[in-house]
Protein backbone atom coordinates (compact mmCIF):
# COMPACT_ATOMS: atom_id res chain seq x y z
CA UNK A 1 0.00 0.00 0.00
CA UNK A 2 1.20 3.52 -0.75
CA UNK A 3 1.03 6.47 1.64
CA UNK A 4 -1.87 8.03 -0.28
CA UNK A 5 -4.10 7.40 -3.27
CA UNK A 6 -2.16 7.92 -6.45
CA UNK A 7 -1.56 7.34 -10.13
CA UNK A 8 1.80 5.70 -10.59
CA UNK A 9 3.96 4.20 -13.31
CA UNK A 10 6.29 1.23 -13.36
CA UNK A 11 9.26 2.62 -15.21
CA UNK A 12 11.94 1.12 -17.41
CA UNK A 13 14.51 1.14 -14.59
CA UNK A 14 12.20 -1.02 -12.44
CA UNK A 15 11.21 1.83 -10.12
CA UNK A 16 7.68 3.05 -9.43
CA UNK A 17 7.10 6.75 -9.96
CA UNK A 18 4.07 8.41 -8.37
CA UNK A 19 2.79 10.91 -10.92
CA UNK A 20 -0.28 12.26 -9.11
CA UNK A 21 -1.48 12.01 -5.51
CA UNK A 22 -4.83 12.61 -3.82
CA UNK A 23 -6.18 12.51 -0.29
CA UNK A 24 -9.77 11.69 0.77
CA UNK A 25 -11.50 12.53 -2.50
CA UNK A 26 -11.16 11.27 -6.03
CA UNK A 27 -9.81 13.80 -8.55
CA UNK A 28 -12.29 14.31 -11.37
CA UNK A 29 -9.90 13.56 -14.23
CA UNK A 30 -8.88 10.21 -12.71
CA UNK A 31 -12.40 8.96 -13.24
CA UNK A 32 -12.06 9.73 -16.94
CA UNK A 33 -9.57 6.84 -17.20
CA UNK A 34 -12.07 4.26 -15.91
CA UNK A 35 -14.90 2.35 -17.49
CA UNK A 36 -17.50 0.28 -15.64
CA UNK A 37 -15.45 -2.92 -15.93
CA UNK A 38 -12.42 -1.21 -14.36
CA UNK A 39 -14.52 -0.20 -11.35
CA UNK A 40 -15.80 -3.76 -10.98
CA UNK A 41 -12.23 -5.09 -11.23
CA UNK A 42 -11.22 -2.72 -8.44
CA UNK A 43 -14.24 -3.72 -6.33
CA UNK A 44 -13.45 -7.43 -6.75
CA UNK A 45 -9.79 -6.97 -5.85
CA UNK A 46 -10.55 -4.91 -2.75
CA UNK A 47 -13.34 -7.24 -1.56
CA UNK A 48 -10.77 -10.02 -1.41
CA UNK A 49 -8.58 -8.02 0.99
CA UNK A 50 -9.33 -7.55 4.64
CA UNK A 51 -8.43 -4.23 6.28
CA UNK A 52 -5.34 -5.86 7.76
CA UNK A 53 -4.30 -7.26 4.36
CA UNK A 54 -4.71 -3.92 2.61
CA UNK A 55 -1.98 -2.36 4.72
CA UNK A 56 0.50 -4.96 3.53
CA UNK A 57 -0.60 -5.74 -0.03
CA UNK A 58 -0.70 -3.89 -3.30
CA UNK A 59 -4.02 -2.06 -3.49
CA UNK A 60 -3.45 -0.57 -6.95
CA UNK A 61 -4.97 -1.76 -10.19
CA UNK A 62 -3.39 -1.61 -13.60
CA UNK A 63 -5.28 -0.03 -16.47
CA UNK A 64 -4.13 -0.56 -20.04
CA UNK A 65 -2.43 2.74 -20.92
CA UNK A 66 -3.82 2.78 -24.44
CA UNK A 67 -7.37 1.93 -23.34
CA UNK A 68 -7.39 4.35 -20.39
CA UNK A 69 -6.00 7.30 -22.36
CA UNK A 70 -8.38 6.56 -25.25
CA UNK A 71 -11.23 6.38 -22.75
CA UNK A 72 -10.31 9.77 -21.28
CA UNK A 73 -9.72 11.36 -24.70
CA UNK A 74 -13.17 10.15 -25.78
CA UNK A 75 -14.62 12.11 -22.87
CA UNK A 76 -12.93 15.37 -23.87
CA UNK A 77 -16.16 16.75 -25.33
CA UNK A 78 -17.81 16.12 -21.96
CA UNK A 79 -15.18 18.31 -20.27
CA UNK A 80 -15.56 20.90 -23.02
CA UNK A 81 -19.35 21.03 -22.63
CA UNK A 82 -19.62 21.15 -18.83
CA UNK A 83 -16.24 22.31 -17.55
CA UNK A 84 -14.71 24.42 -20.31
CA UNK A 85 -12.50 26.32 -17.86
CA UNK A 86 -10.66 23.06 -17.13
CA UNK A 87 -10.22 21.92 -20.74
CA UNK A 88 -6.64 23.24 -21.11
CA UNK A 89 -5.68 21.52 -17.83
CA UNK A 90 -7.33 18.28 -18.97
CA UNK A 91 -5.47 18.41 -22.31
CA UNK A 92 -2.14 18.99 -20.52
CA UNK A 93 -2.84 16.22 -18.01
CA UNK A 94 -3.73 13.74 -20.72
CA UNK A 95 -0.66 14.68 -22.76
CA UNK A 96 1.53 14.26 -19.67
CA UNK A 97 0.17 10.74 -19.14
CA UNK A 98 0.84 9.95 -22.81
CA UNK A 99 4.51 10.98 -22.67
CA UNK A 100 5.29 9.59 -19.21
CA UNK A 101 7.35 6.42 -18.85
CA UNK A 102 4.94 3.53 -18.36
CA UNK A 103 7.36 0.81 -19.42
CA UNK A 104 4.78 -1.97 -19.12
CA UNK A 105 2.08 0.12 -20.85
CA UNK A 106 -0.17 0.19 -17.75
CA UNK A 107 -1.35 3.17 -15.74
CA UNK A 108 -1.60 2.11 -12.11
CA UNK A 109 -4.19 3.69 -9.85
CA UNK A 110 -4.27 3.12 -6.09
CA UNK A 111 -7.55 4.37 -4.62
CA UNK A 112 -7.26 2.73 -1.19
CA UNK A 113 -7.03 5.91 0.91
CA UNK A 114 -9.90 7.62 -0.91
CA UNK A 115 -12.06 4.52 -0.80
CA UNK A 116 -11.39 3.95 2.89
CA UNK A 117 -12.88 7.36 3.72
CA UNK A 118 -16.30 6.06 2.56
CA UNK A 119 -18.64 4.06 4.80
CA UNK A 120 -17.96 0.94 2.77
CA UNK A 121 -16.29 -0.20 -0.42
CA UNK A 122 -19.55 -0.77 -2.29
CA UNK A 123 -20.69 2.79 -1.62
CA UNK A 124 -17.38 4.10 -3.00
CA UNK A 125 -17.52 1.93 -6.13
CA UNK A 126 -21.18 2.77 -6.70
CA UNK A 127 -20.39 6.49 -6.55
CA UNK A 128 -17.65 5.98 -9.16
CA UNK A 129 -20.13 4.13 -11.37
CA UNK A 130 -22.66 6.98 -11.02
CA UNK A 131 -20.06 9.44 -12.30
CA UNK A 132 -19.15 7.18 -15.21
CA UNK A 133 -22.83 6.94 -16.14
CA UNK A 134 -22.95 10.76 -16.18
CA UNK A 135 -20.02 10.80 -18.63
CA UNK A 136 -21.55 8.11 -20.83
CA UNK A 137 -25.03 9.67 -20.82
CA UNK A 138 -23.68 13.22 -21.12
CA UNK A 139 -25.13 14.45 -17.82
CA UNK A 140 -23.41 17.00 -15.63
CA UNK A 141 -21.60 15.59 -12.59
CA UNK A 142 -20.00 17.44 -9.67
CA UNK A 143 -17.21 19.92 -10.25
CA UNK A 144 -14.57 21.99 -8.52
CA UNK A 145 -12.04 23.88 -10.62
CA UNK A 146 -8.85 23.47 -8.63
CA UNK A 147 -5.81 21.45 -9.65
CA UNK A 148 -6.17 19.13 -6.64
CA UNK A 149 -9.84 18.40 -7.41
CA UNK A 150 -9.28 17.78 -11.11
CA UNK A 151 -5.96 15.98 -11.54
CA UNK A 152 -4.54 15.67 -8.02
CA UNK A 153 -1.24 16.94 -6.68
CA UNK A 154 1.91 16.21 -8.59
CA UNK A 155 3.69 13.24 -7.06
CA UNK A 156 7.14 13.43 -5.59
CA UNK A 157 9.38 11.52 -7.96
CA UNK A 158 12.72 11.81 -9.74
CA UNK A 159 11.28 12.26 -13.25
CA UNK A 160 12.85 14.95 -15.39
CA UNK A 161 9.43 15.76 -16.85
CA UNK A 162 7.32 17.61 -14.28
CA UNK A 163 3.64 18.27 -14.84
CA UNK A 164 3.70 21.58 -12.95
CA UNK A 165 6.50 22.83 -15.19
CA UNK A 166 5.01 21.49 -18.42
CA UNK A 167 1.42 22.64 -17.96
CA UNK A 168 0.73 26.33 -18.37
CA UNK A 169 -2.91 25.69 -17.35
CA UNK A 170 -1.74 24.08 -14.10
CA UNK A 171 0.52 27.05 -13.34
CA UNK A 172 -2.32 29.51 -13.96
CA UNK A 173 -4.82 27.62 -11.79
CA UNK A 174 -2.29 27.27 -8.98
CA UNK A 175 -1.54 30.98 -9.17
CA UNK A 176 -5.25 31.84 -9.01
CA UNK A 177 -5.57 29.66 -5.93
CA UNK A 178 -2.57 31.30 -4.28
CA UNK A 179 -3.76 34.83 -4.90
CA UNK A 180 -7.50 34.18 -4.55
CA UNK A 181 -8.50 35.37 -8.01
Q: Which domain holds residue 39?
A: 5-179
| Threshold 0.85, pTM exceeds | no
Is the pLDDT at 90 greater than 80? The verdict is yes
Q: Averaged over 18-24, what is the pLDDT? A: 86
Q: How many structural domains compose the chain?
A: 1
Is the pLDDT at 83 greater than 70? The verdict is yes
Q: Tens digits of per-residue pLDDT, 151-161? A: 665 666 666 66
Q: Which value, to the nearest 10 degrees, does the dihedral of the CA atoms of residues 22, 27, 30, 31 take?
A: 130
- Report the C-alpha gap between 169 and 163 in whole angstroms: 10
- Cα distance from N-terminal residue to C-terminal residue, the chain: 37
Amino acid sequence: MRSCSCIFAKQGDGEEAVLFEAHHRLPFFWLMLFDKEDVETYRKKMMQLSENDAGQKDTGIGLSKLKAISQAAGRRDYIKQYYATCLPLFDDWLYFLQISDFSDMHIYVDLYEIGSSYNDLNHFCDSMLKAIVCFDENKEAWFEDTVAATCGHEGRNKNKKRFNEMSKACQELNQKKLYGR
